[in-house]
A and B are shown apart, each in its own frame.
Chain A
Amino acid sequence: MEIVNTKHVQEVITSFANKDVYIHLETTNGSYATHFNENFLNAGAFMRNIVLNFELGKIVGDSPHRVGLKLPAGWVYAQGITHYEVDDLGRLLLAGLDHEGKLAVALHISETPFT
């Protein structure tokens, strides 16, 4: 993965607009967050292979970026995005890696299901 190039990422997001696409969306603090700090509320969310069709998608802000997808009757967004890759299957993999390189957030968009 590379540091986000907003122009390139915006082009790829736009290429997925108005198509049925598969989404992976995840936020995480890791499963040991409360083990290391008992006062920490370990919260996160995960969805994989959810199919949706968005009409407008944008990446905004300086790094870490925010990415939002506007649906006919709803929204998807992720914040904290720092890295990206368009993999060999043409999928857009957006990730937020913290200062140690640990993943904190991921938003993937694909025309085919994730395995």
Chain B
Amino acid sequence: MIEKERHVLIILPHPDDEAFGISGSIAAYRNMGVPVTYACLTLGEMGRNLGEPPVATRETLPEIRKAELIKSCEAMGLEDLRMLGFRDKTLEFEDDEEMVKLVEDLIEDTNPSLVISFYPRYSVHPDHEATARAVVSAIRRMKEDERPKLYAVAFANNTEAELGMPDVIHDVQDTIENKLNSLRAHISQTVWMMKETEDKLAQNDPEIKKWLRYERFYAYKWDMDFK
């Protein structure tokens, strides 16, 4: 059951970060008429995948990924996409306070009841971690009764050992086609993975169907705050 929200604010560093584990939920919110804002911090300029066969170069990759991101948003029915112009793999080297300010401004502008981002210390990529730290820091500074909910994606190898099982699980069966189209939109990055996924779907593989159907989040544990 996906709760209805006033406004959902998604903050992620890379085009395609939304596709794997959030896109079904985004499409579900849009179907409920909930406004969703997606702030995407970089254009994934440093991605190693240049397509198969290689359709991009290091220099053309950002434009290709930007077009893919727009297509993914269309697949999810998301209209408020904000591309913030940072460079891939540099977020942790930005001024930390400016990153927090950026999140504060987004929250002030959109007044979300729910923010979705990564979980600090459990999200593997340095850009995910930098984004997560900024998001948590900005929300921590708010009065407790004014804070939006924070659902965070965590997938580090030690996640379940330390955080337990995800406590927010969205069944996105009704928007699975939107989710697949979001994943397909990011074809330069997902071509290998989507080939395997579509093969398994064609064979009715239960594991892949489950992986697609359930989106797993942790409600941020303020009593075990990372800082």
- Taking a contact as CB atoms under 8 Å apart, the answer to whether B59 and A28 are in contact is no
B49 in the interface, Cβ–Cβ < 8 Å? yes
B52 in the interface, Cβ–Cβ < 8 Å? yes
Q: Which interface class (under 10, 10 to 19, 20 to 34, 35 or more) fits B?
A: 20 to 34
Looking at chain B's contact residues, is the secondary structure mostly helix, strand, loop, or mixed? loop
A50 in the interface, Cβ–Cβ < 8 Å? no
Stretch at the interface among A9-17, A57-65, A68-76, A90-98: A90-98
- Taking a contact as CB atoms under 8 Å apart, the answer to whether A102 and B48 are in contact is yes
CA distance A24 to B51 in the complex (A): 21
- Taking a contact as CB atoms under 8 Å apart, the answer to whether A31 and B89 are in contact is yes
Q: Given B52, B59, B126, B156, which contacts A114 in the complex, CB threshold below 8 Å? A: B59
- Taking a contact as CB atoms under 8 Å apart, the answer to whether B157 and A106 are in contact is no
CB distance from B211 to the nearest CB of A (A): 17
A2-39 interface bits toward B, Cβ cutoff 8 Å, 1 = contact, 0 = none: 00000000000000000000001010101110010010
CA distance A38 to B52 in the complex (A): 27
Task: Provide the residues of chain A in CB contact with B127, threshold 8 Å.
Answer: 31
Task: Provide the residues of chain B in CB contact with A35, threshold 8 Å.
Answer: 124, 156-157
Q: A38-B157, A46-B89, A101-B53 are in contact. Are A93 and B124 (CB under 8 A)?
A: no
- Taking a contact as CB atoms under 8 Å apart, the answer to whether A101 and B58 are in contact is no
- Taking a contact as CB atoms under 8 Å apart, the answer to whether B157 and A103 are in contact is no
Number of interface residues of A (CB under 8 A): 25
- Taking a contact as CB atoms under 8 Å apart, the answer to whether A95 and B192 are in contact is no
Count chain B CB atoms within 10 A of each CB in A31, A85, A100 and give the residue with the most. A31
A1 in the interface, Cβ–Cβ < 8 Å? yes
CB distance from B47 to the nearest CB of A (A): 8
- Taking a contact as CB atoms under 8 Å apart, the answer to whether B50 and A103 are in contact is yes
Task: Provide the residues of chain B in CB contact with A85, threshold 8 Å.
Answer: 57
List chain A positions with a Cβ less than 8 A from chain B: 1, 24, 26, 28, 30-32, 35, 38, 46, 83, 85, 87, 91, 93, 95, 97, 100-104, 106, 108, 114
